Structures are given as structure tokens and as C-alpha cells.
Structure 1
Amino acid sequence: MNLTQSQLLEDSHSQPLKDPHSQRQEDPHSQLLEGYLRRLYSLNPRGRVSRRRIRSTYAMEEKIREMQTFFGLRETGGLNPHTLNVMKKPWCGVPDVENFSFYPRKPKWKNHTITYMISKYTPDMKREDMEMSFRSALKLWSDAAPLKFIKVNHGKADIVLSFARKTHGDFCPFDGPRGVLAHAFQPGEGIGGDVHFDEDETWTAGRKGYSLSAVATHELGHSLGLTHSKDPSAIMYPNYRIQSSTQYSLFKDDELGIQALYGTPKGKLATEPAPEICGPNFSYDAAVMIGKEIVFFKDRYMWMRTMQKTFWSRLRESHISTYLPSISSHVDAAYDIPAKGVAYIFTGHKYWVVRELKMKSHARSIHEYGFSSRVKQVDAAVHVSEYGKTVFFIGEFYYR
């Protein structure tokens, strides 16, 4: 899992990329850069003559752009502070790829009853806490797909979970504290499906250290056949994130991926895909600013883009109820008043006053707002800060 908690730095100008070999002594970040790109983006910058070095420098720029594209950063090919900060984050040692997607040839377990074994425990946690963390992680995947996991203590198992330091026999050595937290192998014979956790990290069942349940959930996604997702809300996103709750969950992108491989559990409807936002006939139902997020609504989904000083982040998709827990239906209209730091969201004959995402709010009637009983819903709304006026559109009429 590519998983740091330092605050992102913004630099309006990328730094020119120098030859990594001549730069190594003067630039303390060059080894981090080269190691990161070699592990996750198949960089091979070695070369003895100047022409090879020119090619290797160009290859490194291309790999940096590839990494910046994945994380929604400005594509400069240079090592600016924002890019460096992402590289410093603790991460999964599996190469980055697209939204939910699969390994070549889409390997998966043929038998939907999968055995697992803990071959080596960590001294950081009690055994019962460790086993509970793994059970919780496996249950998330079995709730989303028709899979059953059985723990075995002897003999062979499909998935073997273990803790190790540095070189540990799989040609993928760990790098000490932080950096790579764990790695996993795609479904298959032998080492296939196995998960290795870096013993140099501090593992925990709570908030301190790294959550074993969260990292295990991500790595087990690889064990089942999923690669990394570009959706920042997905558990298969490569960076480790601290959640407000110790209870982790799969998101829509994770469910769509695992169901594409194994189908849906008996009696459960398949996860509904979101509308195709690149379709020629696509239109949003409403848009509004909530804090530093511009939020777009369509049906029961929302897309968010964050304003970060001089640039906007990439769009992130989610169910409306994930970030606006009080609202379960589609949004008809919305507007915000920046001076007050509030947003007004309308659905049918109700509206909500929202100050920040993930905060519950109480529904109010639009008739209490001032509309007559003839008005059943608001079609659109806009606040004009210059005049301090809000305009509402309802059918062929508008109200101010």
C-alpha cells in the first residue's frame, strides 16, 4: 500500500530534472525518486555512457508524468514539492494502474471457498486482535462477492499471511519503516495470493501505527485479483489514509471490481455503476461549493473536485449519502453563499443547510423557506454575491 501524513506542499513551478546519476550526491531526494519509480513504474535508469544517460533522464521524466497523471497532479515531469510529498507517503508495493482494474489475463480463484493461514504473527499485536483484523478484512470482500474464507492452521492454504523484514525470499525486499507497508501476489499456485507485511512498521488494531485491518483489506484485494484504483475513495487506492473511524469499508469502485471477477452474493443486487460522465448526452442535476470542494450531482451520485491553492484536484466519485449522510435521494438544485460558508441543497419539497461534508443536517420544508404550497420542488438556484440575491427557477417562473 503506497501509504505519509505530512501536509501537501504546493509549488507553482516544477524543478528541472537533472541527470539522476550526477545529482545523487547533491540531491537528498534522488534515491527516493529513483527507488519509487523503479518499484512502481518499472523505471530502469542505469547507463554508463552519456547517450544512455540522456535516454534514462527522458525515461524518468516520462515515469514521473505517469505517476503525476495517476494521482491527479500537474503533469510536469519534474520533482516539485507536491509530487515529492506523494512519493514520501507509505504505500503498497504493487504497481499503480487504472480505476478498478485487473492483472493481465484477469487471474482469479476458481474455487469460491478460499483457505487462508497466518504463518507468522507480529509481536506488535495480540494474536486474537490480529486474527480479528484479518477476519474483518476478509468479511468486507465476502460481503461484496460470493466468496467464503476458511482459516487453516496446518498444511497448504490458498492465501498465506506473514510478517517479514527486508529481504524475505520473494525478490521484493522491504525497505524499513514507512515506504512500502506490504505487498501481495495475484491469485495462483505457489506464492500466488500470499500477503507479506513489513515487520519494521508498527501494526495496530486502533489509531496508532498502521491499521492492520485497513492494509490487509487492500492487500487481500490484490490476492483476489484486483490491482490499484484511481478512485481516491476506494480501498484499492494505493496510498494509506487514516479514516475518521477505525471501521473500514469498501466503496463502490471496490465492489464493482470484485463483482466483475466473482459476481454478486446470492440475494444481493449488483452494485449500480455511476452514470457515464463522458457521455455526449450527460448533464448534471446541480453543482455547489461546499468548503473548498466543488460538488456536482447526478441521480444518487456526486463528484468532487478540491481547490488546492493554484490548481484543482481530479474528480472523485461517490454516492451522495457517503458525504451527505442526511440526503438519500437525487438533488434537484443547490446554491452556496461563500460569505456565510454555507450551501443550500434542495430535493423535492425539502432542503438542507450544509456547512461541511460528512456532517449530518436536518431537512426543512421549502414552504417554511417561503415558497407557496403550489411549489413542489426547486428546479435550479443561483446566488449572486455581488447583489446579495438568490434566484430560484421553478418551471417557467423564477423567484428572487
Structure 2
Amino acid sequence: SLRTVNPRGLDPGVVRAELHRALDVWAQNSKLTFREVNDDQADILVFFEKGYHGDGYPFDGPGQILAHAFFPGGGRGGDAHFDEDETWLLLEGDHHHGTSLFAVAAHEFGHSLGLSHSSVAGALMFPWYQGLKPNFQLPDDDRHGIQQLYGPKDDRRTWETIPEYNPQLPHYPTHPPYYPRPPDQPRPPPESPRQPVQPPRQPTQTPRQPPRRLDPIPPDYPEKPTKKPHRKSGKPDSCDTSYDAISVIRREVFIFKGRYIWRIGDNGLYAGYPAETHRMWNDLPKNYTHIDAVYERGDKKIVFFIGKQYYLYNGNELERGFPKPLTNLGLPESLEKIDGAMVWGHNGKTYFFSGTMYWKFDEDVGKVELDYPRDMSMWSGVGYNIDTVFQWKNGKTYFFKGKGFWKFNDLRMRVENERQTPSAPFWMGCPHELERPSEPRDVLPPKEELDIKPLPSQSGTASMCSITFLTVLTLHSMFTLSYHL
């Protein structure tokens, strides 16, 4: 429903025709049907607004922010807002002297229907404004996405309204019409101020007591099973394996592979490892095969990612109400898993990595930040589909893939060496089978046998704000753009 009766400088009839055409892009490729109604309760309300317009995300006049929209849900869910100060082109206008309303609306309506950004260049949901060619046909990636949510068009069943889609998910911005290459030596600029959102931010924890301690792993005594035992994966070879997840927990390195962990302290690798992970965190699901990612929050609580859920631990104890779905963090419903998670020492912010994209997470709000995800190419030399990532106590960031890793230069935003370093000799003290770049001698202490000591944990409460985020569409600027992580 178009709720702005007379958009400035535009013919309302032609505007409505362009909006119909944009919605039809999705209707022609799914079971969805759309019907215009004059009703404030319509599933998608369309407004042309200026500056501050009541949702906490003001427009900025001509250029830069073009439009924003909300994922389906209650309240503003599904609505799309367009900056009235922009030069909107109707029908097949000259796109060099304005912005195609059809192109922007088709993209934004994709978000209104529940689609996140695509990493496929040329897709309608690719996070860069591209305009649309005459006789536009929906690319395969977008078609598969909308059909995954609503089914293919060849089924006779249709909807007259958009199904309720919960939980509400954030949108992410669409950027200039080109794919930026980061400079060789970029320095992330200061964080840009963010507009307040409703409800107001609240702290995620209120520490009240000294940290609890992680219980040590008990001896592995054999027990007579009362039921048919669960099939266990074999113990990994310390000198010949990749890693699923790595994190510094209580200033010790924990390396996860399958259902096992290694633990590295100040004096090297502990004796008795690898050990089964559930012996330390026994509330993990019984049928899990591996941990996708782990990180320790600022309040010393530990977050585990397994598939489409995450678990919050205070020491060895699972917090009440967990596990929870990844969508609670503002991540898209379509996301199958997290590849890696870390608190980046360069700015103290939390980052999630998955496939070709990464997100910055706001620990105070409990959601990923507004203008994410972004492409992994910003972490130059790392590539896509990492196995894990973490920041060690020396302040260096390490990305892992296969049986090797890269040390990352946080200031230059690129790997220090394009060639991987083998993981096993460096982290497990295994024999050097391949020549590798020299590392500082104090990076990893020598391996010794030590008694296993318990580690402290944190007591407190965690709260997540349930909020609705939106996506913004950014126009190409003639000025040099600064990109920050």
C-alpha cells in the first residue's frame, strides 16, 4: 500500500506502476501474489520520507542513503521507505542522472519478503546498487532464495498476503555500484555514530560475583554402559588434522576437532589431550559431531556455535534458556552455520564469519550491526569458507583453513604471508615436515606435561534486546570512500 499520496515531483500513478512492477519480479518466480489495498494494516507499507521520519534512521538528502526496509514481522515489519529528496527515475529513464525506482524497490521488496543479501555478483540481492537492464529477468540465485521461502510458481497454491515471518531479522545496506578493493595499507577509521534504536540499549551482563572456575576434566575411567553407546568419532591425530574451532578461554588456547579438544597453557600443551569436549561441557547436545565456532565474551562467558544454534556457558554450566537460534543474534534465517567467531583486538568488537561473508556483532544490543554482512575479501588473502579464526594473547589474528593457517596483519588488513604455515608443528609441537616462515620464539611455549588446573568463569546475567533493524541502500559517491570493519 502506497501511503504517501503525492511523492514530491513524481506522478503517483507511475510510482504505483513501478512498485507493482517491482513486486511482480518476485511474484513471477514464486507462489506469492500481491494485491494493492488502501489499508494501514497492509503487509508492505511504502512511504516517501525526508530526513527524520520516526523510525530512528533518518534520510540524508540527495545521494548516499536512498532507501531502507524492514524484514517481515509486526509493527514496521515489511515496510519500505524511500528518500523523497532523491532524483527518482521512472520507467526506463537515464540512470546516469538519477536512480531507478524500479531497481531500488525490487531490491528492497526482496528484504520485505525476508531475503538477506546475496554474495553472487549480478544478483538482485547483491549488496551493491547496480541498476537493472531492460527486460530484466530475476537471476537464479534470487529465484532460488525466494522459492526456498515461498515455493516455486508452478504450484497452484498462492497467497494473497505475505506469511508472518518470525523472528524479525535485520537488514543490511546496499553500497555503491562498484566492488571496492581495499587499499594496500588501510587503517580502519573511527566508528561512525549510530542512531538510537528502540528499545534502548541495555547491558548484556551485570557481573555480581567473582568468576567461577572451569572444572577440570575428570579421569577417564571405564564404565559399564546401561544403553547402547553412542557412536563416537575417532580421536584426531594431533599432527595430521585440520581444526574446527579455536578460542582463547581464560588465557588458554582451546582447539576443537570433532568431539575432542586440546588445551594449551602458558607452558605448552597439557598432558592427556586431546580429550572429549563433553567431559568439560557436558550440556552440549549428545548427537553433535563438531563445534563450528567458539569465543569468550568480555564478561568471560563462553559462546559455542553448533549448526543453527548457539550455547552460552558460564564456566562449565549452560545458562538457562539455551540453546537459542542464530536468528536471535540478528543473523539471517538462511544461515546454516558460523565458520568462525572472535573478539578482534584491533577494535574490541566481536566478528562472525560464514562462507563468503562476515558480520560485526554489537554485544550491548545483542544483534549484528546495521550495515552487515560484508564480503570476506576485506580480509585480504584469507579467502572464503575458513575453518576457524581467533586472536591469540600476542594480539595477532590467525585464520585457519585445512591443515594450515595465516597470520593476519590487522593494520594492513592482509595476511603477512600468502603461503600458509602448517598448523601441527606450530601449535602442537609436531615435527616440521614442511619449511615454514619463521615466527617469534615467544609465540608458543615449549610443550610440557602439566597437571590440569581449573580455570575461572564469570557469574552474571545476560539479556538480549529484541529489536528490528533495517537495510539502507547507498548510492555511488564521487568522493573517495572509507570502508571500516
With normalisation by structure 2, the TM-score equals: 0.30
- Normalising by structure 1, what TM-score? 0.37
Higher percent of residues as helix:
1
